[in-house]
Amino acid sequence: MSVAVITYHGRMARWEPDARGRLEQAALELFAERGFDDTTVADIADKAGLTERTFFRHFADKREVLFSGSDALRELLAQSVAAAPASMSPMQVVGAALEAVSQVLHERREIVPRRQSVISAHPELRERELIKLASWADVLTDSLRRRGVKEPSATLAAEAGIAAFKIAFARWAVDPKRRDLARLIRESLEELDAVTAGR
């Protein structure tokens, strides 16, 4: 089915499909061209052919372009832990939850290298990324406790899982073989198991 596109001239606002995606694409291109600090919200909106008001309907500020969706992923982690079979060990539960997150991230694979290059170049963004991962560890810990996992096992499993995820994600972002993030998470967890077992 074809859809008629109505174009208006001047600065008149107009309906556009996937405004959020266009803003994200425009932001990443500008961050790469000008740098994060020298890119404004107005620049992003203009490049996307939208208004600043539209930008702020989707993102609180330009940093959120890089970190949006984190709340939904935290919720997915909690749901995945709660839904895991009772027979699973704490580390198996954490691994399954992280693999669930990986399926969502897989859909955004094409933008990951650009996003990571922007974050890597800015200390404040690297700090924000670490805070995000720490919040994921907190969610995993709390969710494991609700399953009856005692301390320090709950915290150890959550923190170890996030450490494995960080390594897997960094590999995935630059992997020339384009392997699945879920596979790389499993490999990292297997390596962790080998290290702790002294193999």
Chain CA centroid to CA 170, Å: 12
Residues 134 and 187 in one domain: yes
What's the gap between Cα 13 and its chain centre? 30
Q: Which residues contact 86 (CB under 8 A, 6 or more apart)?
A: 147
pLDDT at 199: 57
Closest to 77 in 3D by CA, of 171, 170, 157, 168: 157
Rounded CA separation 38/33 (Å): 10
Instruction: For residues 150 and 110, state if they share a domain.
Output: yes
Residues 50 and 85 in one domain: no
Q: What share of the chain is helix, strand, coil (3-state, %, to 5)?
A: 70, 0, 30
Domain boundary among 43, 61, 79: 61
Verify that 99 and 169 share a domain, yes or no. yes
pLDDT, residue 11, reads 42
**One domain, residues 57 and 73:** no
CATH number of the domain to which 182 belongs: 1.10.357.10
The conformation of residue 61, written as its DSSP 8-state character, comes to S
Query: Can you give the pTM of this predicted structure?
Result: 0.81
Q: Residue 122 has which token pair?
A: 């800015």
CATH number assigned to the domain comprising residue 43: 1.10.10.60
Judgement on whether residues 181 and 110 belong to the same structural domain of the protein: yes
Cis peptide before 152 (omega within 30 of 0): yes
Question: Both 57 and 74 in a single domain?
Answer: no
Give the DSSP letter string of 134-185: HHHHHHHHHHHHHTTPPTTHHHHHHHHHHHHHHHHHHHHHT-TT---HHHHH
Orientation angle between helical segments 112-120 and 123-146, nearest 10 degrees: 110
Query: Do 136 and 177 share a domain, yes or no?
Result: yes
26 and 44 share one domain: yes
Query: Is residue 171 located within the same domain as residue 131?
Result: yes
What pLDDT was estimated at residue 198?
A: 65
Domain count, the chain: 2
**Res 15: pLDDT:** 43
Per-residue pLDDT of the chain (199 residues; tens, 9 = 90+): 433 333 334 443 444 458 888 999 999 999 989 999 999 999 999 999 999 999 999 999 999 999 888 889 999 999 999 999 999 999 999 999 999 999 998 888 888 888 888 998 889 999 999 999 999 999 999 999 999 999 999 999 999 999 999 999 999 988 878 889 999 999 999 999 888 876 5
CB of 171 within 8 A of CB of 184? yes
Q: Which domain holds residue 150?
A: 69-197
